[in-house]
Structure 1
Amino acid sequence: MTIRNDATRLTIRARDRRKPRSLVARQGQVLLDADLDAQSRHLLDRVETATDDMVGSAGYLVVPAGSDAFAVTPAATPDACGIGTGHGYLGGWLVENTTEHCLLKNQPHPRPETEPKGPVLLALKALVRYVDPVEEPAFADPALGDAQAAGRALVDWQVFPFAPEGGWGADLACATANPDWQKLVKPSSGTLTVLPDQMPAAADPCSLVPQGGYSEPENLLFRIEVHGGIPRKDHPDADGPRYGMDGLTVKVSRRNASVLAGIVKVDGTTLTVEPPALDPLNWFAAGAHAEIVSIHDDVDPRKAAQQERLFQIARATDTAVTLESAATGLAASIKDDPAGWYLRLWDALPDGTGRATAKPAADDPRLSEPIPVGDGLAVRLGGGADDVFRRGDHWTFAARADGSIDWPKDKAEPPHGPQIRYAPLATLDPAAEAPSTHDCRVPAAALTDRTLLYRGGDGQQIPAQAGGGLVPLPGRLRVAVMRGRTPVAGATVTWSMPEAGIPSQVNGSTVNGVDSLSCETDAQGLCAVDWAIDAGRTDTDHQVQAVLTSTTGTPEGPPLLFTAAFRTAAGTSYRPGRCDLLQQTTTVQEALDLLCTNLGGPTEPETLRLTSIRLLDNQGDEVDLLAKDLILNGLQVRYDAFAAGIALSTALPTEAARLECTPEPFDPIVEVEVDLPYPATDPDKLYWERASGNVDGFGGIFAPFGFQRMRLDGTVRVTDEGEPGLFWSPSRMATMFLETAPRHQWGHRVVDPQEEVERSGWKGSEVRPILCRLRVRSAHVWSLDPKTDRRIYLNAEHLGVSAHSTGRELLVSHRDPQRAADLDLFFYLNLD
């Protein structure tokens, strides 16, 4: 239960907003309980502020490095997930889990839910809870008999599953940026103002009038606490509902709700309690109200919010409290096991009820109408349109016998408690083949931990020696072990091969997947070793790792990775200058190879070169399959992109030269082929379905399973006008075949008999772009060399590169060295 001790006062509003360093008692002066409470808070403020500054990570749980504290063990459902024992720090608070074999369903405040089954965030909720000696008898000293003892403040906690209403989106990522998570962890924004009664105006100057304000002759600590309300549907309720101001219910106690008794027996609505009454004036009495509470209510108020637990007292003795008949159902539910249930005293409001309901004020809907709480006092709730209250939100103020109250005049304050903090622990994906988690805790190293630091030797490169063998690196690999700024001598550093690495030698000893080498640091904390790498593997980087190990060989932290490589022409980058020939090369090896192929070559081309490949449609649009000296293999074009023909242009030796070849129109110098899905005709579809299955249309082939190549009908001619080259024209029927492709869908469409094919079970498949091949027989395309009168043939076999257009381009300037080679180009026809 959140702080409910009957203290002198809990809130001290000093004019200086800085936190006091300590309490200073005065000689001969009274030392109040409030002073002792304040001293403990001063010390806690100092400790928790320093802890948060040193290890704090806002909104996350910080744990000692290597600790299993609150580590989540995945399971198929959230309730079965494990929670590691140990301690961590949340905003400076020390949060402890001392429960062995702890699961969500048996943690100190259990969460047995198995929903949701999708990806969830397992979150930690921590709050400051007051443990009364009634709950923990060990806090009372038997030597004092029945004297009441002080309780203890405890940082209590619960781990619960959380999933937002709209889902997580693409990435769970510990969820702290999710709007629903931010609403969940945001503090309550509702406010409360204490309004003392005003002194009425005097009608007769000779008459005394009642004084306004607090009217009781005793010093009391009032507590106003949120009891319930209308849940807000726009806020998550994983750890309890959030309420708006309108319809909010509050309850009141004049002793900070500090009167608590344990329930030991239930008989109807009569509850036998322990300990018995010590002060009849401060005990359960007829007309007051009692709340049946559980030790779980403060941490997880969901059940308390769903089930009414505050009832009026009908009768009371020192050891038994009889509640109104409305408590019958709840009393019966705890009859068989009353352990962990308690009875808490609340005062009746002036109208005799145990709770008051807030209503918006007529003059300002952001505030409630004043709510009388008795003794000359009233309270007013507020918060505006985005007011948020939680069950258990409370305010305390001291009322003194002189008629004063410890509350700033007309000031609205947010709840004084409970203090609640949240942190994501882990994301859980129980739907995977093996449930998995992502740890959201933040590990923190101790100031005295040893640390392995890099000191030099990484990234070396050496020439590869002929014949292979191990080659020593010129620089030694150096690491240091430090504790803060102090070197650690005698620390053990182990050198090993990383996973999937290459064996090497460290200090002359082989390091591979089995063997490693250990050495100790010197007086300066340094460890330096010689490293030799294998010259037989110049194709990849070589790596070795160093890790700090304990005396038992256990790693203390992550390893440091060292990388080395051999310098080769293929591994050395090259930046082309003004040489056009080398513009596409990126390494020295590529540049050397290209220069070698061009050494001693003629000044004039020995082959004809393609300069453009254009697809022409009947709307006058063109698609160029040769752009920036790249032949664009794999390009997707419209289905009728070449319904008007394909033009191929060539570069001739001189301006006066022309193509000398004279093909017949029907010669297959230019071939255009398409890969149609097979089977493509209705009879073929029926045949393969029936031949592979049964006559009822089940179990057979019901979709295309291959392709059949078809050469399109067309004619070819040599063109001399404009750019010289070849022009392929499709026949009239071939043009119609291309232009009607959306209707026949390359053979996917079922035409006739439609009913028979569909009844057979034929479903077809998704219509994908079809492959189209363009081939030019280069041996039939030639010109004459004007100097030698020898034929110069088309060389259309080009070499591939990796560019950004299609990823399958051919570079026109990189040709095959043979004199003539065919062009074999492919692209795709798309129905979109």
Structure 2
Amino acid sequence: MQGDFSRTTFDPRKHYSAVLAQQGRVQLDADFNEQGAVLLHQLRTMVADVLGPAVAPAAGGGFAIGAVDGRRPQEDLTISAGRMYVDGILVENDAEATYWTQPDLRLRIGHSADELPQNEPFVLYLRVWERLITALQDPAIREVALGAPGPDTAARAKTVWQVAAVAVTARTTEEALKEFPARLAAFRPTGRMRARARQPVAPADCQYHLPVDSRFRGPENQLYRIEVHSGGPAWPTDPTGCPTPTGPTPTGPTPTGTAVAAHSGAARRGATFKWSRENASVVFPVVSLNGSTARVTTLGRDGKLGLEVGDRVELVDDTIAGRVADDRVLTGPPERAPRLRRVLAVDAVDLLVTLDDQDGDEDCGLGANPFLRRWDHRPAPGTTTAVPDDGALPLVEGGWLDLEDGVQVWFETAGETTPGTYRRGDHWLVPARTAVGDVLWPQRADGPAPVEPDGVRYHYAPLAHVVGQGVDPSPRRTFPPLGG
């Protein structure tokens, strides 16, 4: 979640049952947040153990799938109001909806990617995850007694649900439910990441050289967020394993280089990523958008949290927030994410931010709670373009890629799959600390360990099997009142 956190510390493998405050000690946001995570983990694990991984109450249960009068199942389906538990997470639908009118996913009529499968059986399923909500999205979070508009205090975690469909070959529900897990597995990314700031001696057979001060050189502690912007397979590399630079071809297998310099001027051919030193928490609410000029309510508290010419920003709108986490990006060619815009001018008097042109991107317009989210990557020195056409950086595997101040990341794939696949919206959090001159990252004997993304954590539940004109709702499980 893109909050202004120091770091996240909850790890279920440590089996902590509580966070215990001590007198006279410094209070940290990470400790309070870990206590909440410990309790949620215990509660959700118990619910899943008692009720099962995906179940709705027989009385008051929701997410029952039905036909829409006068329409084929391939055109639309109803979603009943009520509750359901997915991996122990309470999911609530406040009012009956349909596939096309569900509240947490804006679908586009006429776009084939959003339509239900037309000529083959499919399983309709529930996809659940959590997203961050701040006072920007919900002004009621602010305490007006602290002043108008009031300071930004604690944020909230919101459970988000979407009903989606995946095509299957099975024409019986029993066989479809056996096929369903394998279909979901095809969506899951295989990419992993390592991070470091302190570096070993550079390999002699690679043209890249380490800086003299091979440690974290930032002036203050940071929580870096490395996030997949456009999903799909990793960016191509040359046969040596080095990211292809704009100059002479390197000869070493694991060089240090900049991601941007890897493919300057080329069209995007793989997954891309973006990064923020503030966990992507630097945002600017948009009041109006006139062409490429956005009027914002603030330009930040100070220069560190403000906007400068050349910054990359993402125009975010709550009405399309769900699409960022759509796992269909791994089906077929990589889905092209909306292009990150570059700041051309900042008018501090009238609070106007001029962005570069869309270059043919779909203009989402302004919906609920639009804002600009700042990302901190910049083109490498000597390059004239920020290469991939989505404004992000090429996600290259098998080489250390520079971020800033000595912080580097390395992408790789799990198992034998080459190249790895990456899902749009997945991210890693990298705490960097000045006291140790390094990042806080799991280690193993050969150095930084490869880890899966910290999020987004998705949870799934099958709801119905559709074949032709038939809708079988039996995949949605129910439970009677306990003790009844």
Q: TM-score range by the shorter chain?
A: 0.7 to 0.9
Distance 2:34 2:462 in 1: 32
Match of 2:145 in 1: 143
Partner of 1:224: 226
Matching residue of 1:315: 345
Q: Does 1:358 align with 2:351?
A: no
TM-score (norm 1): 0.46
**Paired letter, 2:4:** D
- Please give the alpha-carbon distance, in whole angstroms, between the structure 1 residues aligned to 2:90 and 2:197: 40
Distance 1:285 1:305, change over 3 A: farther
The corresponding residue for 2:67 is 74
- What is the CA–CA distance in structure 2 between the aligned matches of 1:283 and 1:66, rounded to whole Å? 51
Q: Is the 8 A contact 1:398 1:405 kept in 2?
A: yes
Greater RCO (CA < 8 Å, at least 6 residues apart):
2
What is aligned with 1:300? 326
CA contact (8 A) 1:264 1:271 kept: yes
* Residues 131, 425 of structure 1: alpha-carbon distance in 2 compared, 3 angstrom cutoff: same
Secondary structure in 2 aligned to 1:177? Answer: helix
1:534-575 CA deviation, whole Å, 9 max, x = no partner? xxxxxxxxxxxxxxxxxxxxxxxxxxxxxxxxxxxxxxxxxx
- Residue 473 of structure 2 is aligned with which of 438, 442, 445? 438
Gaps of 5+ in 1: 202-208, 233-245, 360-366, 450-832
Quick check: 1:157–1:299 contact (8 Å CA) kept in 2?
A: no
Q: How does 1:700-711 map to 2 (within 5 A)?
A: none
| 8 Å Cα contact 1:121-1:174 kept in structure 2 | no
**Alignment match, 2:4:** 6
Counterpart of 2:283 in structure 1 is 260
Q: Secondary structure at the match of 1:37?
A: helix
Q: Percent identity, aligned pairs only?
A: 30
Whichever residue aligns with residue 152 of structure 2, its letter is Q
| 1:341-387, Cα deviation, whole Å (9 max, x unpaired) | 3311100246174532133xxxxxxx422211111011110015423
Deviation of 1:224 after TM superposition, in Å, equals: 0.5
The 3 A distance-change label for structure 1 pair 143 and 26 is same
In 1, distance between residues paired with 2:45 and 2:393?
A: 38
AA partner of residue 135 (structure 1)? Q
- Please say if 1:52 is aligned against 2:84: no
Distance in 2 between residues matched to 1:272 and 1:338, nearest whole Å: 15
Q: Map 1:740-819; keep pairs closer than 5 Å.
A: none
Whether the aligned pair in 2 keeps the contact of 1:293 and 1:309 (CA below 8 Å) is no
Alpha-carbon offset, residue 275 of structure 1: 4.9
Indicate conservation of the 8 Å contact 2:299/2:306, yes or no: no
Partner of 1:413: 451
Contact 2:232/2:422 (<8 A) preserved: no
Q: Deviations over 1:96-116 (max 9, x none)?
A: 111x23111111113454442
Match of 2:482 among 418, 441, 447: 447
1:306 aligned partner, one-letter code: R
Instruction: Name the CA shift for 1:89/1:230 in 2 (closer, same or farther; >3 Å).
Output: closer
SS at match of 1:178: helix
Report the Cα offset of residue 180 of structure 1.
7.4
**Structure 2 CA distance for partners of 1:13 and 1:125, relative to 1, 3 Å:** closer
Query: Which whole-Å CA distance do the structure 2 matches of 1:54 and 1:317 have between them?
Result: 58
| Structure 2 CA distance for partners of 1:266 and 1:315, relative to 1, 3 Å | same
**Which residue does 2:135 correspond to in 1?**
133
Partner of 2:100: 105
Q: 2:223·2:279 contact (CA, 8 Å) conserved in 1?
A: yes
CA contact (8 A) 1:192 1:379 kept: yes
Deviations along 1:709-743, one digit per CA (max 9) or x if unpaired, are xxxxxxxxxxxxxxxxxxxxxxxxxxxxxxxxxxx
Give 1:404's aligned amino acid. Answer: D
Matching residue's letter, 2:411? L
> Do residues 160 (structure 1) and 155 (structure 2) align?
no
- What residue is the counterpart of 2:376 in the other structure? 347
- 8 Å contact from structure 1 (residues 104, 110) kept in 2: no
- Deviations for 1:303-341, whole angstroms, at most 9, x for unmatched residues? 99435321221122453322123x36558x344x44343
Q: How does 1:188-227 map to 2 (within 5 A)?
A: 188-198=189-199, 210-227=212-229
Is the partner of 1:96 in helix, strand or coil? Answer: strand
Name the SS for the 2:342 alignment partner: strand
Aligned partners of 2:398, 2:271: CA distance in 1, in Å? 10
Q: Give, in whole Å, the separation in 2 of the partners of 1:157 and 1:355.
A: 28
The structural deviation recorded for 1:26 is 0.9
The answer to whether the Cα contact below 8 Å between 1:266 and 1:338 also exists between their aligned partners in 2 is no
Asked whether the 8 Å contact 1:398–1:406 carries over to 2, the reply is yes
- Aligned residue for 1:247? 270
2:15 to 8, 19, 22: 19
Paired residues for 1:615-626 under 5 Å? none
- Name the larger-Rg structure: 1
Report the 3-state secondary structure (helix = DSSP H, G, I; strand = E; otherwise coil) of the residue aligned with 1:296: helix
Check 1:77–1:275 CA distance in 2 against 1; reply closer, same or farther (3 A cut): farther
CA 1:77 to 1:264, structure 2 compared with 1: closer, same or farther past 3 Å?
farther
Instruction: Provide the C-alpha distance between the structure 1 equivalents of 2:292 and 2:25, rounded to a whole number of angstroms.
Output: 48
CA distance in 1, matches of 2:307, 2:227: 19
Q: Is the 8 A contact 1:74 1:82 kept in 2?
A: yes
Q: Is contact 2:56–2:83 with CA below 8 Å preserved after alignment?
A: yes
Name the structure 2 match of 1:397. Answer: 430
Q: Deviations over 1:185-217 (max 9, x none)?
A: 76432100013253779xxxxxxx954211012
2:237 aligns with none
Over 3 Å counting, the alpha-carbon distance change for 1:261 and 1:350 in structure 2 is: same
Q: Find the residue that maps to 1:176 and give its secondary structure.
A: helix
Contact (CA 8 Å) 1:122, 1:424: kept in 2 or not? yes
TM-score when normalising by structure 2: 0.77
Partners of 1:81 and 1:439 lie apart in 2 by 15
Contact residue 222 and residue 252 of structure 1 kept, 8 A: yes
Would the aligned equivalents of 2:327 and 2:423 in 1 still touch at CA under 8 Å? no
Task: Please show how residues 637-648 of structure 1 align to structure 2 within 5 Å.
Answer: none
| SS of the residue 2:130 aligns to | strand
> Are positions 1:375 and 2:405 aligned together?
yes
Shift of 1:248: 2.5
**C-alpha distance in structure 1 between counterparts of 2:200 and 2:421, whole Å:** 33
Structure 2 CA distance for partners of 1:174 and 1:272, relative to 1, 3 Å: farther
What is the deviation of 1:67? 3.5
Aligned to 1:728: none
Query: Cα gap change, 1:85/1:349 in structure 2, threshold over 3 Å: closer, same or farther?
Result: same
